Amino acid sequence: MKITDMLTASKQMLSFEVFPPKTETVFKSVSEAALKIATLHPSFISVTYGAGGGTSQYTLDLARRIRETTGVEAMAHLTCVSSTRATIHDRIEEIHAAGISNVMALRGDLPKDGTPGRDYHHACELIAELRATGYDFCIGSACYPEVHPESTNQKADIAALRLKAEAGCNFFTTQMFFDNHLLFNFLYKIREAGITIPVFPGIMPITSKKQIEQVLRLSNAYLPQRFRSLMDRYGDSEPAMRQAGIIYATEQIIDLYANGIQVVHVYTMNKPEIAAAIQQNLSNIIGMPL
Ligand SMILES: Cc1cc2nc3c(=O)[nH]c(=O)nc-3n(C[C@H](O)[C@H](O)[C@H](O)COP(=O)(O)OP(=O)(O)OC[C@H]3O[C@@H](n4cnc5c(N)ncnc54)[C@H](O)[C@@H]3O)c2cc1C
């Protein structure tokens, strides 16, 4: 089922993101964690794709297994910047043949030396290519409430988003953020710019000090003082930080729903206990009419 078709039920939805194994050695443990998350029966699960193509086959395998063993709809991520047109063509055919109708179309990070892609430069080219197949994919793409690090300013970033919507993207999922005001401001600006497709906020529960250091290294996310206080107070106690991080993420999600957001996407980091705790905290809220 296409994710866009699920939206017509007009109910609050929770979806999860998982990542596939990077190597054959960890295939079993990583896949099992992801499948366990699928048994929680979120609205859908998205499966990330390795930037260098290393996990490309595993992405599709995992997405297929999630659908077949749990009946949960899966979305396969696909990045294009490090691939040739021929490879992308093959990947799209494989996705279609596997019965996956939801695709997250991404550019992917540029190589560390900044060399641009040979055949692809931006996600909108991949979106257009997916549309041109005529396969009736539901296509998602990424957006950045705090602006993509390569963009000179938010206006330019939003102009690029419009190109993705015009190329045939059906919805956007956001980069993680820790202050909902940033999301609400972003939504106001994109709607003003004429972008009308749904936006699914991406929420990352931060459950350890190590994880926050990683997040800050990889993204330019703003950390509100309220969050910093939690880290200062509980960062050295693993169970306390886990509990505080889950509650913080839950509160963010409730506030998003309360302000009219239909779908919240949780970055689970393949941790079933964290996905389950968030879902449990929202058990009387998920499924409520909009
Ligand atoms: C929800 C989500 C899921 C992700 N999943 C994965 C994953 O599975 N695997 C992975 O490797 N990475 C993933 N990423 C990371 C993503 O690949 C990087 O953030 C990457 O740097 C940008 O990808 P993009 O698709 O947003 O690129 P683009 O949309 O191409 O944007 C990249 C930059 O180019 C600008 N731009 C875009 N289009 C144009 C245009 N036509 N003309 C001029 N400028 C333009 C944008 O403003 C931005 O600055 C994900 C990110 C998010 C938010």
Name the CATH architecture for the domain at 3-281. Answer: Alpha-Beta Barrel (3.20)
Residue 215 has a pLDDT of 86
* Residue 104 alpha carbon to ligand 1 centre in Å: 11
Helix (H, G, I), strand (E, B) or coil at 161: helix
Minimum-distance ligand 1 atom for the alpha carbon of 122: 30
* Residue 150 alpha carbon to ligand 1 centre in Å: 9
Minimum-distance ligand 1 atom for the alpha carbon of 159: 47
DSSP 12-59: -EEEEEE---SSSTTHHHHHHHHHHHHTT--SEEEE---TTSTTHHHH
The Cα diameter of the chain in Å comes to 53
Output the ligand 1 site: residues, CB below 6 A.
Answer: 48-49, 51, 77, 79, 106-109, 122-124, 142, 148, 150-151, 157, 160, 163-164, 173, 175, 202
Residue 54 has a pLDDT of 54
- Is 129 annotated in the active site? no
* Residue 106 alpha carbon to ligand 1 centre in Å: 5
The dihedral through the CA atoms of 57, 58, 61, 63 has a sign that is: negative
Tell me the HSE value of 139 on the side-chain side, using a 13 A CA sphere. Answer: 27
Residues with pLDDT less than 50, the chain: 52-53
Minimum-distance ligand 1 atom for the alpha carbon of 141: 25
Residue 246 has a pLDDT of 98
Q: Which of 172, 167, 146 is nearest to 157 (CA)?
A: 146
- Per-residue pLDDT tens for 60-106? 999 999 999 999 999 999 999 999 999 999 999 999 999 999 999 99
* Beta strands at 138-143 and 171-174: parallel, antiparallel or unpaired: parallel
Residue 111 has a pLDDT of 83
Residue 50 has a pLDDT of 85
Domain boundaries, the chain: 3-281
Helix, strand and coil in the chain, % to nearest 5: 45, 15, 40
Residue 51 has a pLDDT of 54
Residue 53 has a pLDDT of 46
**CA dist list (Å): 4 to 75, 268, 290:** 12, 22, 15
Q: List the structure tokens of 246.
A: 């889950």
Given a contact cutoff of 8 angstroms between Cβ atoms, the answer to whether 278 and 249 are in contact is yes
